[in-house]
């Protein structure tokens, strides 16, 4: 099973990398989500996939015998909660940016770092500049 | 006091601060009191911690009664205690400064809760002895900083927030992935246990690859070349107290993590990582200082200087001698105080002179000569002129690199120092020396009339400048402490013994 999961991990990282390189912020959020899940899968793999028995210590025993590795499950649970909250925050941030800036194209977002005036503008930055003008 | 209390109190103070500030929602005055009290509590706890470890002992505690390496450990040594103390100092100084001006607007957006949350994450990251726990503290710190950065919700801040949030999230996710791989190889997450297990692994090539993954993730946090783009894109949009605490603490947590992991975990293959870190340090210093030279907004100039100065802090890992690591520690301590102070002064310049843009301000030396002197102390210290704190820290790292034969690194460090001086003189000429623009008289009169704002904003600046002068004029104890902390970092056995109690036997790697 492990090679299959390792392959799935690789594919997910590749998909995430592709999405993250997009200029569209919606795709970037999706990329972050996929990357977070790929990471959770890598934690699961790192704990080795052996037993399917729940990691419960039987009554009277003091040590776990033959159960699945419980540590990756605890780690993934923590990581899922964190990545869920961060992706929720990111989505809200991107949405409010979309409303205020009127674009989802990261190249057109030059509010914080305006381009120098004397530079010869390209087509896209001209369009961006025109879009920004009313607010200035 | 027991080790448990010593190590828990610095984290507990901001944790209680977060909870109480959130409960006091709607009562700004109460929130201010709680926030200041929590920051003071953090500062006092950090002083006690430093006193307990300054003779070179390492203290450790285990949470939840789990025997090491199964539970989460907290470890305090000279390096982490110094970092916690400086965090406490910044928490109080910037906390006081943050009570001025538009504080009401910030308070309506959870300012105090997020501020304490940031301190909580930073302190936890300095004290934890567990690499997964370090990831959790990073996330606490990050989500607080996301909130603080986009606090005003202006168009500028939303744009900056997108870049800051995206790049930082990718970096931390990559960090978590590296932790997973490390766990897969060693079967443990406790840093003291990792320090024992990693040298016994058969496949040391994979360890080196993993070391580079950690270098990349922590490098992105520390804003080193070529991963620093989030910093100059975002920092200048936040308000003065927020950007001051960011500049003081956020990147330094990345530097701390690099120094900690590369002394405790990955010191085996210095011949391979050494040249990479050296190249990264040189490019970081040079690109940062050149970026600063191109700008005319004080905040953007100072933001690029953060990047530039991070290069000096990597000397310790690049050169990897006790003197260099000690020098790096001294550099971090000096830099946090100086850089935060410069951003606080930038806030004063904006308020008194009317703008952060150097072209629209001027003549401040004529109206406020004392502010000019207060600016020159951290500015010249940043450039490394004697007898200020920057001189001793630069002297130590450059002497260490020359001793070890890193001529290029040392030359780059000296050249970047001169270019830093150029940027500082540019701010001095434009904001303080040239004639004031016509329309600035009114803002200046408003500033002069507001005595409360003057006292609140200038007292932290005076205190931090006094500390810079103290480190410069009485350098001996500070240099001595840093060098001993550097030697302690290189002797891993003290750290491992502190976590495991008595000298422990090496256990086999648990797959």
User: Quick check: is A134 in a domain?
Assistant: no
The answer to whether the beta carbons of residues B328 and B398 sit under 8 Å apart is: no
> Cis peptide before B226, with omega less than 30 degrees from 0?
yes
Chain B contact set for A102 (CB, 8 A)? none
Residue B317, domain extent? 269-494
Chain Cα centroid distance, residue B445: 35
Q: How many domains does chain B have?
A: 1
Strands B59-62 and B73-76: antiparallel
How far is Cα B253 from Cα A109, in angstroms, rounded to an integer?
A: 29
CA angle B182, B184, B190 (to 5 degrees): 55
Identify whether A130 is part of a domain. Answer: no
Let me know if residue A115 belongs to a domain: no
pLDDT digits (tens, 9 = 90+) for A59-79: 877 777 777 788 888 899 999
Residue A89 has pLDDT above 60, yes or no: yes
B70: closest chain A residue by CA: A71
**% of chain B beyond a pLDDT of 90:** 47
A89 assigned to some structural domain = yes
**Residue B42 to residue B14: CA distance in whole angstroms:** 7
- In chain B, what residues touch A35 (CB-CB under 8 Å)? 170, 173
- B26 contacts chain A (CB < 8 A): no
Q: What is the DSSP secondary structure assignment for residue B509, as one 8-state letter?
A: P
Can you tell me the mean pLDDT for B476-484?
92
Q: What is the mean pLDDT of residues A98-119?
A: 75
Domain contains B161: no
pLDDT at A132 over 60: no
Task: Quote the mean pLDDT of chain B.
Answer: 88
B229 touches chain A (CB under 8 A): no
Percent of residues, chain A, with pLDDT higher than 90: 33
Closest alpha carbon within chain B to A30: B166
Residue with tokens 């450790």: B60
Tell me whether residue A113 is in a domain. no
Within-domain flag for A85: yes
A98 pLDDT band, cuts 50/70/90, is confident
Position A117 in a domain: no
Q: Find tokens 């600063």 and name the residue.
A: B292
Q: How many independent structural domains does chain A possess?
A: 1
Report the 10 Å Cβ neighbour count for B285: 28
Identity of the residue in B155, B170, B233 whose CB atom sits nearest the CB atom of A113: B233
Q: What is the pLDDT of residues B148-185, one digit of tens each?
A: 888 877 888 888 888 899 999 999 999 999 999 999 99
- Provide the pLDDT for residue B420: 92
With an 8 Å Cβ cutoff, the interface of chain A facing chain B consists of 20, 25, 28, 32, 35-36, 38-39, 42-43, 45-48, 71-72, 75, 78-79, 82-83, 85-86, 89-90, 93-94, 96-97, 100-101, 106, 109-113, 135
Q: pLDDT at residue A83 above 70?
A: yes
Residues of chain A contacting residue B210, judged by C-beta atoms under 8 Å apart? none
Report the chain A residue with the minimal C-alpha distance to residue B132: A75
Could you tell me the two tokens for A65?
């015998």
Confirm if B261 and B336 have CB atoms less than 8 A apart.
no
Which among B334, B293, B322, B328 has a CA at the least distance from the CA of B409?
B328
Residue at A68 is within a domain = yes
- What confidence category does residue B502 fall into, taking pLDDT thresholds of 50, 70 and 90? low
Q: Return the bridge partners of B59, or none.
A: B76
Q: CATH number for the domain including A37?
A: 1.10.287
Chain B: residue whose CA lies nearest to A34:
B173
| Tens-place pLDDT, residues B279-306 | 999 999 999 999 998 888 888 999 999 9
For an interface test with A, give the residue of B69, B131, B149, B173 to mutate (most A CBs within 10 A): B173
Is the distance from CB of B62 to CB of B39 less than 8 angstroms?
A: no
**Is B324 inside a domain boundary?**
yes
When CB atoms are compared, the residue of A85, A93, A110 closest to B165 is A93
The length of chain B, given as a count of residues: 511
Tell me the residue range of the domain where A99 lies.
2-53+61-104
* Cβ-count burial A102-134 (b if 16+ within 10 Å, e if not): ebbebebbbbbbeeeeeeeeeeeeeebbeebee
Task: Quick: pLDDT tens for A117-127.
Answer: 544 445 554 44
Nearest to A48 among B159, B181, B511 (CB): B511
The reported pTM is 0.91
């Amino acid at each position: 099973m492990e090679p299959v999961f390792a392959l799935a991990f690789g594919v997910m990282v590749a998909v995430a990398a592709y999405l993250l390189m997009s200029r569209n912020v919606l795709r970037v959020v999706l990329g972050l989500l996929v990357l977070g899940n790929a990471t959770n899968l890598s934690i699961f793999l790192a704990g080795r996939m052996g037993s399917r028995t729940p990691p419960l210590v039987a009554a009277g025993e003091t040590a776990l015998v033959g159960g699945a590795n419980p540590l990756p499950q605890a780690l993934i649970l923590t990581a899922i909660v964190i990545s869920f909250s961060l992706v929720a925050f990111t989505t809200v941030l991107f949405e409010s940016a979309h409303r205020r800036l009127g674009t989802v194209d990261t190249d057109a977002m030059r509010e914080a770092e305006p381009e120098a005036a004397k530079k010869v503008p390209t087509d896209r930055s001209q369009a961006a500049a025109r879009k920004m003008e009313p607010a200035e | 006091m027991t080790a448990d209390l010593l190590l828990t109190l610095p984290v507990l103070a901001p944790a209680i601060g977060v909870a109480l500030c959130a409960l006091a929602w709607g009562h700004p005055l109460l929130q201010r009191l709680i926030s200041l009290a929590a920051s003071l509590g953090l500062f006092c706890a950090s002083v006690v911690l430093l006193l307990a470890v300054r003779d070179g002992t390492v203290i450790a505690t285990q949470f939840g009664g789990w025997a090491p390496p199964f539970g989460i450990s907290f470890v305090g040594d000279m390096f982490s205690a110094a970092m916690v103390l400086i965090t406490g100092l910044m928490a109080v100084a910037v906390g006081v400064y943050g009570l001025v001006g538009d504080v009401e607007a910030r308070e309506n957006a959870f300012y105090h809760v997020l501020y304490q949350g940031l301190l909580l994450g930073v302190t936890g990251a300095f004290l934890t002895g567990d690499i997964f726990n370090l990831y959790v503290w990073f996330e606490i710190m990050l989500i607080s900083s996301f909130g603080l950065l986009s606090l005003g919700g202006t168009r500028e801040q939303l744009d900056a927030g997108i870049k800051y949030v995206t790049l930082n999230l990718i970096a931390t996710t990559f960090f978590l992935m590296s932790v997973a791989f490390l766990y897969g190889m060693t079967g443990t997450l406790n840093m003291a246990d990792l320090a024992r297990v990693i040298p016994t692994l058969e496949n040391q090539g994979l360890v080196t690859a993993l070391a580079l993954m950690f270098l990349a993730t922590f490098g992105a946090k520390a804003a080193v070349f070529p991963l620093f783009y989030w910093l100059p894109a975002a920092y200048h949009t936040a308000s003065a107290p927020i950007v001051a605490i960011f500049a003081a603490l956020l990147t330094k947590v990345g530097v701390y993590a690099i120094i900690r992991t590369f002394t405790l975990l990955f010191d085996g293959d210095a011949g391979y990582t050494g040249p990479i870190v050296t190249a990264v340090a040189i490019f970081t210093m040079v690109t940062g200082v050149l970026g600063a030279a191109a700008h005319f907004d004080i905040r953007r100039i100072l933001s690029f200087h953060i990047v530039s100065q991070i290069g000096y802090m990597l000397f310790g890992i690049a050169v990897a001698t006790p003197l260099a690591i000690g020098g790096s520690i001294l550099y971090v301590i000096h830099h946090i105080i100086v850089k935060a102070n410069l951003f606080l002064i930038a806030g004063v310049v904006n308020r008194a002179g009317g703008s952060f843009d150097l072209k629209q301000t001027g003549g401040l030396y004529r109206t406020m000569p004392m502010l000019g002197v207060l600016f020159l102390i951290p500015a010249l210290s940043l450039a490394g002129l004697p007898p200020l704190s920057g001189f001793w820290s630069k002297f130590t790292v450059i002497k260490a690199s020359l001793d070890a034969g890193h001529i290029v690194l040392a030359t780059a460090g000296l050249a970047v120092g001169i270019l830093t001086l150029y940027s500082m003189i540019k701010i001095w000429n434009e904001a303080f020396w040239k004639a004031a623009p016509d329309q600035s008289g009114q803002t200046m009169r408003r500033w002069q009339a507001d005595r409360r704002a003057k006292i609140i904003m200038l007292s932290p600046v005076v205190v931090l400048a006094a500390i810079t002068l103290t480190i410069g004029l009485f350098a001996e104890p500070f240099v001595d402490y840093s060098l001993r902390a550097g030697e302690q970092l290189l002797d891993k056995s003290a750290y491992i013994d502190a976590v495991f109690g008595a000298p422990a036997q090496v256990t086999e790697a648990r797959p």
